[in-house]
Amino acid sequence: MVTLFYSRLNGIQENQFVVEVCERLDHRSCEALEAVLKWLHFDFISLQAAQLEENGAASLLDMILYYESTTHLDISDNSAMATSGWRALAHLIKQSVRLSRLDVCNVSLAEYPSQSLSKALLTSRLTVLHLDKAKLSGLPLFTLVSALKSNRNLKELHLTHNQLNSFQDSMQLSDLLRYNNTLRTLELSNNQIADAGFEELCEGLRWQGTGLKVLLIQNNKITTKGMLHLAKALPLLRVLQVLDLSENLLENEGVHIIREPLMANCSLLQLGLANTSITCEGAVALAEVLAESRLLQCLDVSQNEVRVGGLMALCLALRINRSLVTLHLDQDPPLEQDQFMMETQISLRSQIGQRCLANSRRSGFSTASVALTAAEDALDSSP
């Protein structure tokens, strides 16, 4: 069964057509779809978990290429495409003039799949590529990076949940940053980069004179020691605008290490430090950064034990700061010792919200940013 949607789906805007395949597609089923693909162009075709077998995948992908059927293709969760299917996908990537985004997630890209995709990426027009949960660690990542070093079209690369390690994988990613200056977004969350790997990444970042604007590296076993490497890189960065270090064990000491380098940085607009074991001491250090910053627009310190002392420092800093429009805090404030402290905390949070709102209006933002949000709200990742 093929369903057509004329509505909002998975972030697709209204007034866009979406095609989603909802059951197993064999070779005959894929051929039956040709009548649809022949007459309609889609903004999004989802073949996720369609149980594509080798011949069916090859046939359908060849049709999508021939009719230039879509700008966004999701072929995730299809593990039985075999050689012919992957060859057809590589041909589609190389030849399509419409396809701009490809999702190939939750499949193994070891051996032939990684080789065929990487070769296709040498001349691809893709601008967004999602390879999450694709078992890329080791040789597959080496093969991918070798191709992307010279790719000048890709703008977003998402590599979450790939067990990328702090050794060879991080060295490959550092090389990517060193030689590719057109990539704008790199997402590496939920891997195992650790401090040693983060050192390699920071070294690669220092070569980014005109490229990377967004680096998302949540939950990567980075600790306070990793901040020593970031501290060396931050003053040299000229284009990085969004850095998300959430869910890493940075602690107050880590914030102290990057405090002055953050002041010296002249590009960062958004900083994510959610769930990094920061307390009031770390919040005070961040308040010192805010007092000096003329650029930082969004700071996420949710899921941390930031109580009255830290909130007071942040509130005072916002009397001076004119750039911050969003400060993410937990929706439910941490419990204090007595009622007076709880009331003080609520008052400070209200004042912080008002000052962020004033900055938003002063900066001419079309919509006012909300300063206090639920802990699960993610850092906005748009550059």
User: Quick one: pLDDT at residue 23?
Assistant: 56
User: Quick one: pLDDT at residue 27?
Assistant: 64
Mean pLDDT of each 10-residue bin along the chain, 383 residues long? 40 45 62 80 87 87 94 93 94 97 95 93 97 97 96 98 96 96 97 98 92 97 98 94 98 98 96 98 98 96 95 97 96 77 90 95 62 38 37
The fold of 1-103 is 3.80.10
User: Quick one: pLDDT at residue 195?
Assistant: 98
CATH of 105-208+218-237, one of 3.30.70.120, 3.40.1280.10, 3.80.10.10, 3.30.70.20: 3.80.10.10
What predicted TM-score, i.e. pTM, was given to this entire model? 0.89
User: Quick one: pLDDT at residue 70?
Assistant: 93
Q: Show the 3-state SS of the chain.
A: CEEEECCCECCECCCCCEEEECCCCCHHHHHHCHHHHHHCCECEEECCCCCCCHHHHHHHHHHHHHCCCECEEECCCCCCCHHHHHHHHHHHHHHCCCCCEEECCCCCCCCHHHHHHHHHHCCCCCCEEECCCCCCCCHHHHHHHHHHCCCCCCCEEECCCCCCCCCHHHHHHHHHHHHCCCCCEEECCCCCCHHHHHHHHHHHHCCCCCCCCEEECCCCCCEHHHHHHHHHHHHHCCCCCEEECCCCECHHHHHHHHHHHHHHCCCCCEEECCCCCCCHHHHHHHHHHHHHCCCCCEEECCCCCCCHHHHHHHHHHCCCCCCCCEEECCCCCCCCCCHHHHHHHHHHHHHHHHHHHHHHHHHCCCCCCCCCCCCCCCCCCCC
Measured between alpha carbons, how far is 49 from 104 in angstroms, rounded to an integer?
Answer: 11
Q: Are 161 and 132 in contact (CB under 8 A)?
A: yes
What tokens appear for 290 in the block?
Answer: 């805010």
User: Quick one: pLDDT at residue 364?
Assistant: 78
User: Quick one: pLDDT at residue 281?
Assistant: 98
Domain ranges of the chain: 1-103, 105-208+218-237
User: Quick one: pLDDT at residue 6?
Assistant: 36
CATH topology agreement for domains 1-103 and 105-208+218-237: yes
User: Quick one: pLDDT at residue 125?
Assistant: 96
